[in-house]
Structure 1
């Protein structure tokens, strides 16, 4: 049922139902139906076919029977009749394999033969994806047979034109999770590598793909002829090896220990074929973020307490910090994450700035392509000028560098170094760029956990919070000269983060709730209140970091005090009173298993709202952007509302 709320069309989907992408009607929810709906969306938004060309459960006459085809795509301008079918698609639930005797790809053969003008077929279970072209059979007694091809053609292109992609054919992806998983699993299974090695090889190729998208001519491709032979696969390997050599020359700081791509020619050709038609640089940030987060998380999560920060928390932190600055200040503000992991906070900054630059350029001139080109240049300059990240884990830093490149940055200000060490012990190139007291904003989620402890006495000696604190006769906490033998890193990161900021610089930090409530950590809270002003404290739901860790956390927003403020407070003998923004996020868009949770009515109906997007179609051999309105479920997440409330509070009271 559709209703209008605040001018938007809102749908309510009962439990056990889905809203059809094709008809907007309610249909039964099943694992196979989820796969079919994703494929229909892909056919429209990625391949450019019109909804009017698509039918589901189309009855096909096969050997005296009428069998339902999961999806039929018809030739342009033709009525939905069997003789007008152009593409047949079979969708299965994920546990059905392509080799299954009854439901696998063999089923497609009889379907394709029965539709005389059908030219292509696609079989998928949401993970596997197999594409075929119908050709005349050389087998006696068989008229047609399916020939494996890399992909079905996009709307407006023939298979011959589709052989070597040009930039008009590249399309933004609507979903990349299953693509990356399919490739990662293929490398792992066919190359005989460990999963982490397979992941690393995939990252190299993603890097090559993005690099190629910035060139004048496409080199990241494989033709159907090449993928079908050893000689052809060798040609692909030679082409991609040359491309990777160019990548290594430009990004020596990322690939200094990676002289070559390690995949064999056949596996490499497969991976290239799976990625070649996407335009990663033009793909929505959330689509890339979902896929990259899943890929990285599966391979690198949690060995040293580095539980990756969910993107909704990153967005909230970035929104709050940017809201406290003018647009001009944001343009030149230096921002750092001293425990950057795979770069979640930094990517949120890039996404926010990309939208700002895009809106600015569209207001000047409505040309989308012109705006995107300017935005790409602006983002690269902004990141080189303003954005920095540090992490102790070299593998995570490389993943962050690649993450930034996928999102349009050159990633030159990301360093693998222990940010808790004294700056004098950092490499010279890092010490020259990252100086204490030089950053306007900082956002971080430092590693925490029972198994990670800092016990280096030399390192501990430089921190106030690593010393023993005692109350004097007046009951005031004071630092002694005694140094503790061991410390959890999150406490040291509080102090290092404040040290990195300029006076009156702003900080967003995720901390375990024990820091805010444990009686034994009273001295830490005293240090925070002495050296910073608490702007906001946001209590995060226990599910925020589950299932990686069950540690309850809060997001603290702090402002470093300047020397004058601290001197006056010390002279006065007490801390001043001031307002603090406080909020509780009871819901964070997911449950304890990490599954997304969407908003529902009291009766259990899922709430969906209209979302405008743009798709690219090929019309008369030229790209045309077309607006498309779809329905999307709404995450049951309090964080966006908390962001709204903070901005309103800050504009009303916080700036004073």
Structure 2
């Protein structure tokens, strides 16, 4: 039960019908609960009573404090006596999204109240960040940083606040880590990130990397084996004055910061020994900056927080940071869900995203298998045996069956962290160019899993419009789509290398190489791949290599929120067997030869070419009153124009012949090749608008249900 609910139940607070006004019952104070700061104040007030054990009679809210000639208001003061004459703790409350500068100002303000009132302790809180101080009697302005305020009746503080299973130290209650909501976790991530770059010491990208490292340390600390009552390492430890005689409070705080830094870096080194591929560089934060971020994360339990909530919090935080320059790495959740949900992925499937970005497709595949485990082991939450079977079901899939490739090293680290937060699968995410050959990828990563002809499913949204040049990437020569195909109606045509090729076209072929026969590819492509006449060779290649399962057209707005406005579709393909591909290619070749022979094409082409040469040689229709010849004739402008017109006339006849044969080939090919149905759909509303704001209608839900049934029919041999 939440603190607010407990407070209402015990009659400490009450609300109006609309929950806009809160009344502190014993204090007879009514306040505006829609004020973000008031919500923090209410929870802090209840913590003092329900957690720290202070009597309501000894707590006063909104206390007037005389500061020289002015009167200020302290949020909360806790007293040592019932008449409230002997101040004990001054509490200052700020809203959750308070900046570091504003929080520091609140500390100064609260401490000045404590000195003026003669209080012994100070607590400044934003709900997600807490700072505690002791006020020395000898030098009240020399504040001493402590790890918590004392609980009621406790004379001596503990060195730390959080321990496994809770317990107590020196009579002071210790706390177990707390599971928090998705919204609160998102705010903690954002505030931690803001604290790192807000002052200008780090740029936002570097700050993100450093926060990632600390989240990694936090998770590692929670997973370490420790006995009940043993403290967690990922928290601030207090350095008591008697342990360091003669040191100032500032020196004690510096000592505490340096000890914390050493513990965090030790955690980081331990984690890196097991997972060296996640982070390569050291933590680069000063002890003071490190402590600031630890303050946002030390009291929460990341490991036990609901996986969906934890994952969404991290993705929401990531999205808010990367939406600008890195927006192309994030496929909207509605599209990811649609693609993964329609495919028959299970815990035995091998799944690859060859352009994985932050890992959205892989994580949704993991989520799908986790939900399947719920069906197989419905009592896993209450039965230890089923719990182990349930976890093994999806955890083995995460560790061994999910693979991702991401060219940007920073985004690849994000994907690994995303997987770690969702309980692993990160070991098969590599930072590399997904268009490199299989042997090259294996050599570079040391992961033999990236072999061709291995994966059952590839789900990906490759980068659009990026151009690969033959002169820059040696791997271009491994791709058929990097060659200009022979023109079957041009006897002199030969296959030649293209100078450049778009990445999305090469990825279609690369994915074919990674798939097993019968494996599925779901890929987001720009509509030009499906419609541009100049890309007919790509569509012909797809027809040779794959059974076309479905084409689902997305609205123009699908990727606008991430900064991309290219009209796109999702293409679902199923890899043909090698024999089927050869059969199709041979049938096409034979059909082309038959059409050329039945139309006497080569002879007709030769005749037109010869007629053109004779026409030009004999000067038929060219007025030449001076009977010019040789160079004098060929350099004549009138002759050049006439020759050009005659060549165009014959070329037009040749083109007309080629066009007729091309149309005949298209018609006969359609009759000749095996016919099969293709699922076609147009989605105009997909659950969000051009700004990314959710809408009430998502046609992908209905389309997905129908397409899933269609794919099931294909697998049964009924389509």
Which position in structure 2 is the counterpart of 1:491? 505
- CA drift of 1:489 comes to 0.6
Q: 1:652 to 1:483 in 2, by over 3 A?
A: closer
Q: Do the aligned residues in 1 keep the contact of 2:36 with 2:95 (CA within 8 Å)?
A: yes
Q: Which has the higher strand share?
A: 1
Alpha-carbon separation, structure 2, partners of 1:160 and 1:359 = 46
Change (3 A) 1:343 1:359: same
Which residue is 2:571 aligned to? 556
CA distance in 2, matches of 1:240, 1:576: 63
Work out whether 1:280 is the aligned partner of 2:302: yes
Q: Deviations over 1:431-458 (max 9, x none)?
A: 7321111111111111123577665474
Going from structure 1 to structure 2, the CA distance change for 1:486 and 1:652 (only over 3 Å counts) comes to: closer
Q: Does 1:271 align with 2:286?
A: no
User: What CA distance in whole angstroms lies between the structure 1 residues aligned with 2:305 and 2:683?
Assistant: 33
Query: Within 2, Cα distance between the matches of 1:578 and 1:41?
Result: 62
Instruction: Give 1 or 2: higher helix fraction.
Output: 2
SS, match of residue 676 in structure 2: coil
Partners of 1:317 and 1:508 within 8 A in 2: yes
- SS of the residue aligned with 1:293? helix
Is residue 105–residue 123 contact of structure 1 (8 Å, CA) maintained in 2? no
Which of 371, 394, 402 aligns to 1:355? It is 371
Match of 1:425 in 2: 440
Residue 91 to residue 267, structure 1, CA distance change in 2 (3 Å): closer
2:646 is aligned to none
User: CA 1:391–1:49 in structure 2 vs 1: closer, same or farther (change >3 Å)?
Assistant: farther
1:274-333 per-residue CA deviation (whole Å, 9 max, x = no partner) reads 212222223234433344335545666676884322233222222112xx35xxxx2221
Residue 334 and residue 130 in structure 1: after superposition, are their counterparts in 2 closer, same or farther (change >3 A)? Answer: closer
| Offset at residue 584 of structure 1 (A) | 0.4
**CA distance in structure 1 between the partners assigned to 2:42 and 2:701 by the alignment:** 27
Equivalence map 1:628-639=2 (5 Å): 637-639=698-700
> Could you list the per-position Cα deviations for residues 46-99 of structure 1 after superposition, in whole angstroms to 9, with x for gaps in the alignment?
99989xxxxxxx9956449xx9999x999xxxxxxxx9x998854387689626
Which residue matches 1:576? 675
CA separation of 1:320/1:410 partners in 2, compared to 1, >3 Å: closer, same or farther?
closer
Q: Offset of 1:196 from its aligned partner? A: 2.2
CA separation in 2, counterparts of 1:647 and 1:505? 15
Aligned 8 A contact 2:442 2:450 in 1: no
Distance in 1 between residues matched to 2:457 and 2:163, nearest whole Å: 42
SS of 2:686 mapped into structure 1: coil
Deviations 1:556-595 (A, max 9, x none): 2211112343355453732513141524052333542x4x
Map of 1:597 onto structure 2: 694
Task: Check the 8 A contact 2:111/2:122 in 1, yes or no.
Answer: no
RMSD: 5.0
Q: TM-score of the superposition, structure 2-length normalised?
A: 0.65
Decide which of 188, 199, 205 is 1:179's aligned counterpart: 188
Structure-to-structure mapping, 1:113-262, within 5 angstroms: 123-124=125-126, 130-131=129-130, 138=137, 163-166=161-164, 169-174=176-181, 175-189=184-198, 192-217=201-226, 218-223=232-237, 229-255=253-279, 257-258=280-281, 260-262=282-284
Question: Aligned partners of 1:575, 1:654: CA distance in 2, in Å?
Answer: 17
Q: RCO (CA 8 Å, sep 6+): is it higher in 1 or 2?
A: 1
1:322-346 Cα shifts (integer Å, max 9, x gaps): xx35xxxx22211111112222211
Q: Which moved further from structure 2: 208-217 or 414-423?
A: 414-423
Deviation at 1:108, TM superposition (A): 6.6
Alignment check: 8 A CA contact 1:61 1:114 kept: no
The structural deviation recorded for 1:139 is: 9.2
TM-score normalised according to structure 1 size: 0.70
> Does residue 521 in structure 1 map to residue 540 in structure 2?
no
**Judging changes above 3 Å, is the alpha-carbon distance between structure 1 residues 60 and 234 closer, same or farther for their aligned structure 2 residues?**
closer
Q: Distance in 1 between matches of 2:342 and 2:91?
A: 49
1:232 Cα deviation (Å)? 1.1
Residue 511 (structure 1) aligned with residue 525 (structure 2): yes
Q: Relative to structure 1, is the Cα distance of residues 280 and 121 closer, same or farther in structure 2, using a 3 angstrom cutoff?
A: same
1:654 CA drift (Å): 7.3
Q: How far 1:119 sits from its partner (Å)?
A: 9.4
The alpha carbon displacement at 1:163 in A equals 0.7
Please give the alpha-carbon distance, in whole angstroms, between the structure 2 residues aligned to 1:565 and 1:447.
30
Shift in alpha-carbon separation, 1:90–1:181, aligned structure 2, 3 A:
closer
User: Aligned equivalents of 1:283 and 1:591: distance in 2?
Assistant: 32
Q: Residue 18 of structure 2 corresponds to which residue in structure 1?
A: 25
Residues 395-410 of structure 1 aligned to structure 2 (within 5 Å):
395-409=410-424
1:394: Cα distance to partner?
2.5
